[in-house]
Amino acid sequence: MLRVRGLSKRFGGFVSNADIDLDIEPGEIHAVIGPNGAGKTTLVNVIAGDLRADAGEILLDGHDVTTLPTHRRARAGMGRMFQITSVLPSFTALENVAIAAQARGRSFRFWHRANADRDLNQRAEMSLARVGLSHQASALAGEMGHGEHRQLEIAMALVAEPCLLLLDEPTSGMSGADSVALIDLLRTISETTAILLVEHDMDVVFSLADRITVLASGRRIACGTPPEVRADALVQQVYLGAGATAAPAMAEHA
């Protein structure tokens, strides 16, 4: 589904991503982990097109998208959820999702009220129902809670029926119950959509991921199934050396 080869990204003298390979198969949940500053978010931004790669290539479903702008990649099937909540605050939840759905259709319509577009609203309602947000359909996005924003973002991504979903720390700042619900949802979604998951929470990573890529200082140091990654000597060294935050979680699963 996604094939990344030799991807590099520098900011001045700082190498954020160096020669990274990454493959995501259809229906796979592929987690990218690593200590802070490992280049995870940069990698997502380069794949999504917000940042341009300095070297390497990105293939989506066999098509080279390395030089395509963000909006063209989105149309080619990349859905996105940002690390920091990104919704349209002055629109209702339903409108947020309907605008996302509209991106695949014709938006150069100037007279009819978009709010009254039954087809778009119906698709938006279905997507909201899927993430469990139907009861908030007519709430202004700007007035919703953090957990609901995360759900809303997923609904916005899903409504366009992406073939690849890029999720940057989807559970960050969520309560325990909310994040359990989200994990269940992601598992369901992965039946039809490949997912690239950047996540700090090792519980989430090890319970969801089919495969894990580990980054450290911008380089890929390991890639494999959760048991393989857990057993990797280099990974353990990086995580134990990186401080106490991730190490206990890592040990727990070992």
Q: Which residues bind other proteins (CB under 8 A)?
A: 48, 50, 69-72, 74-75, 78, 80, 82, 86-91, 95, 99-100, 102-104, 106-117, 140, 142, 156, 160
Burial 22-53 (b: 16+ CB within 10 A, else e): bebeeebbbbbbbbeebbbbbbbbbbbbebeb
Strand, helix or coil for residue 134: helix
Which of 41, 56, 42, 1 lies closest to 24, judged by CA?
1
**Distance between CA atoms of 143 and 141, rounded to whole angstroms?**
5
Nearer to other proteins, 60 or 238 (CB): 60
Max distance between CA atoms of the chain, in angstroms, equals 63
CB of 192 to other proteins, least distance (A): 19
95 vs 199, beta carbon nearer other proteins = 95
Euclidean distance between CA atoms 124 and 131, whole angstroms: 11
User: Least Å distance between CB 159 and other proteins?
Assistant: 9
Output 124 or 229, the one with its CB closest to other proteins: 124
Shortest Å, Cβ 237 to other proteins = 36
Query: What length is written for the chain?
Result: 254
Is the Cβ of residue 24 or residue 202 nearer to other proteins in the bound state?
Answer: 24
Q: Which is nearer to other proteins, 104 or 135 (CB)?
A: 104
Nearest approach, Cβ of 45 to other proteins (angstroms)?
10
Instruction: Give me the least distance between CB of 75 and other proteins, in Å please.
Output: 4
**How many of the other CB atoms lie within 10 Å of CB of 211?**
18
For residue 91, the Cα-to-chain-centroid distance in whole angstroms is 23
**Residue number with CB closer to other proteins (6 or 105):** 105
Q: How far is the CB of 188 from other proteins (least distance, A)?
A: 22
